[in-house]
Chain A
Amino acid sequence: MLLAIKLAYRNLIGAGLRTWLNVLVLSFSFVVIIWIKGIMVGWDHQAKTDMTQYEIAGGQYWQETYDPFDPLTLDISHALIPAEVMPEIEAGDMEPTLLIPGHIFPNGRMQGVTIRGIRSGQSIWKLPTEKLDTVVDAIPAFIGLLMASSNKLETGDLVTIRWRDANGTFDAAEILIVDIFSSNVPGVEAGQVYIPLERLEELTLLEGHATILSYRDPEAPRAELTGWTLKPKEVLTRQVDELIKTKSTAQTILYGILLLLAMLAIFDTQILSIFRRQKEIGTYVALGYTRREVVGLFTVEGTMHAVLAAIAASIYGLPILYWQAKVGWTLPMDASDFGMAMAQTLYPVYTIGLVISTVLLVLITTAVVSYLPSRKIAKMNPTEALRGKLQ
């Protein structure tokens, strides 16, 4: 076997440019497949990270009537925070959010919004809540970039907001936009206004109430709370999984064809080798190799393309892939208005499983493609082959 590998290596190197072209195409496949898969994993990762950092944290409890798709029930979707989670909230590992429907009136136009009461000292999201400590006459508020651009609002703007308290009494006030954040999570930006929780509770006469309880740790087992629905992280990120799944199907076809191309080259090369090296084959048989061993020899030789390609790919591909993971792949356009959680820059993430599976995939495919033409050897007449006669 060692001999076979040595021989195969010599033969390949001896073939010069032809081998290197094959290796290049194959290594190309390696890098492209790993990169594309990496981008997908990276996207998945990024979307989930963004959601974690801006929306769902480690998972949530929803007040039982809360339904993000039904604005009509939002005004009744809040409840007293259960006593059993109070220690967690005091420790800062759980954040209550109170959602109240309201309207804002930018330039005399009325637009429905959700007012989100959020604690300014929270540390489970990357939302700029510290800005809510700004001391101003108006209510300090921050909004997402989507909201800001669709309503032409800027930091420092004052805008009237109207809501109703727990008893249905109208209230209205000016809010001062103290910050605008950008999160890649449309759900926390579009139509959302963030103000200090204590302020909202007080204004709506809902002291101690919340609509959503978000906890930090996604791993710890969670107890059921009566009147609340537990929404673990996996459930909240399911949409991302589904999106990535559909995208992946298309990509499989893509690199399947890329591989097919590379295999075309290997196949062609193998056919020619066997055609040109009949004498050599005859000699092997004359030397006592069984036909199977000779087939093995040629298969190893073909497969070695993939090995060399893997090496080549790691020589030029690793730096590229590493650089990509560092710098990210910036979409050469503005992604801020993309409907899904999609960042301007996607950072590919390469997992060990991804790399190993790709290497195995290419290696096995190459081995099969190398083997197929080699089967012809088994049918050769060794004496004829030795004489170099075409068969």
Chain B
Amino acid sequence: MIKFLIKGLIRDKSRSRLPIIVVTIGVFLTVWMQAYITGFMGETIELNARFTHGHVKVMTRAYAEEMNQLPNDLALLEVSALREELSLLFPGMEWAERIQFGGLLDIPDESGQTRAQGPAVGMGLDLLSENTREVKRLEFERVLVRGSLPKEAGEVLISEAFSQKMLVEPGEEITFIGSSMNGSMIMHNFTVAGTLSFGVETLDRGTLIADIEDVRLALDMQDAAGEIIGFFGDGFYDDERAYDTIKAFNAGYKDDPDEYAPVMKTLSQQGSMATYVQMADIWAKYISLIFIIAMGLVLWNAGLLGGLRRYGEVGIRLAMGEEKGHIYRSMIYESIIIGIVGSVIGTALGLLLAWYMETHGINIEGMMDGASMMMPNAIRCRITPPAFYLGFIPGVLSTVIGTALSGIGIYKRQTAKLFKELEA
């Protein structure tokens, strides 16, 4: 029976083509939309993750207490051992050491006297090691305004606005004045390799990006780091997974009374991210829901239309003596097949586009004034498990309901009137 129906659908294009196209388009839009919303909502989260929070972050307990004050005196020590432990415990994750610090940048004139001075916030990260992911992660290349990325030790990036205010050109030497891990005043010379535009006033005012080894040298933080941030292998934040991860890690230090023992926090436990993570989740759900409902209505209508298209055909079949129930059932089966085929194709296409937009993103940089690190430059999708099945809800269900409703008409038709209708 099913075989027969499928044959019919394949041979009679008018019976199958348009309905399948409509279901496909509908499901395609639903699936892609869901991935887009998830991706869009997640973009801000990922941005924060990449820049400061990580998907999870390891700090000392004391550092975690005063995180917003960049208390490097409370930094993690023996970081390489800790890194090994982390890689062992969580093989699929990527880890990156970061040091955030504050101080003054002092620009000398030819004679070495201070020419200009201004407050700066610095970040030390792995810029130079061979297989570092940090440069790509933070897309320095994209927001580079002048000069180049650091290629050797001692080279740093500073914000463009700051370089203009201080009249510093790439290639010039600047002195960082700050305090070391244990509070001593330190001075350290860096060479400006290039300038960056962040697009956020606080960062553009005075930011220094340096290789973490240079920062360690400058701040007397051998084998130390303020924080180690971790990223899930697939590159996307997942709150539940993050909680599982920190639980597993923190359990190992449960009985350690040391206030400098490491502690792991999820992104959502840091700063204002909790609210955002929840909000993103809620918005994504609401919007997906609206879409599924709207899509359901549209496909329901398509099912109704499909039934009407075949008014004549049904008449002939009735006239030939086919049982009403049989026709009705066969139409329902057909609609199930159409629904499934359409949903499969639609989901596949939706996933394909979503996948493309997940890996490449659609560049929207041209739509904005100038590149900036803190604004997403591309619209990206994110494929989550629901994307694989959500489309089927409106795709199959609504098509079938539409057909079932329009099919009721079959039972109302009277054989006596059929020939009259067919004559017309």
Contact = CB atoms under 8 A, between A and B. Distances in A.
Does chain A bind chain B? Answer: yes
A150 interface: yes
Nearest to B369: A242
A388 B40 CA distance: 50
A333 B276 CA distance: 10
Interface in B362-404: 364, 367-368, 375, 379
B275 A337 contact: yes
Interface string A308-336: 00000000000000000000000111110
B309 interface: yes
Contact of A25 (B25, B297, B305): B297
A335 B278 CA distance: 10
A36 B391 CA distance: 24
Contact of B33 (A71, A257, A333): A257
B272 A254 contact: no
B290 A258 contact: yes
A109 B69 CA distance: 12
Nearest to A32: B290
A17 interface: yes
Given A32-B290, A246-B375, A275 B300 contact: no
Contacts of A69: 201-202, 205
Contacts of B26: 261, 264
A333 B275 contact: yes
A249 interface: yes
Nearest to B22: A268
A261 B294 CA distance: 7
A269 interface: yes
Given A258-B290, A338-B276, A18 B298 contact: no
B282 interface: yes
A264 B298 contact: yes
B153 interface: no
Main secondary structure of the interface of B (DSSP, over half): helix
A388 B311 CA distance: 14
Contacts of B187: none
Interface string A18-32: 100110110011001
A339 B271 contact: yes
B190 to A, nearest CB: 20
A25 B298 contact: yes
B297 A24 contact: yes
A213 to B, nearest CB: 22
A388 B367 CA distance: 51
Interface residues of B, number: 48
B279 A28 contact: no
Given A28-B293, A150-B68, A269-B305, A264 B276 contact: no
A262 B368 CA distance: 29
A275 B310 CA distance: 12
Nearest to A17: B304
Contact of A18 (B33, B118, B201, B304): B304
Given A18-B301, A150-B68, A253-B36, A264 B22 contact: yes
B29 interface: yes
B353 to A, nearest CB: 12
Given A150-B68, A265-B302, A249 B367 contact: yes
Contact of B305 (A239, A262, A272): A272
A265 B394 CA distance: 14
Contacts of A150: 68
Interface string A230-260: 0000000001000000100110011001101
B207 to A, nearest CB: 12
A333 B311 CA distance: 52
B18 interface: yes
Nearest to A339: B272
Contacts of A109: 66
Nearest to B376: A246
B119 interface: yes
14 contacts: A17-B405, A18-B304, A21-B298, A21-B301, A25-B298, A28-B293, A28-B294, A70-B119, A254-B33, A264-B29, A265-B301, A268-B18, A268-B22, A271-B18
Given A69-B201, A268-B302, A332-B282, 16 more contacts: A18-B308, A21-B298, A21-B304, A25-B298, A28-B293, A28-B297, A29-B294, A246-B368, A264-B29, A268-B22, A268-B298, A268-B301, A272-B305, A276-B311, A332-B278, A335-B279
Interface of A: 17-18, 21-22, 24-25, 28-29, 32, 69-72, 109, 111, 150, 239, 246, 249-250, 253-254, 257-258, 260-262, 264-265, 268-269, 271-272, 275-276, 331-335, 337-339, 388
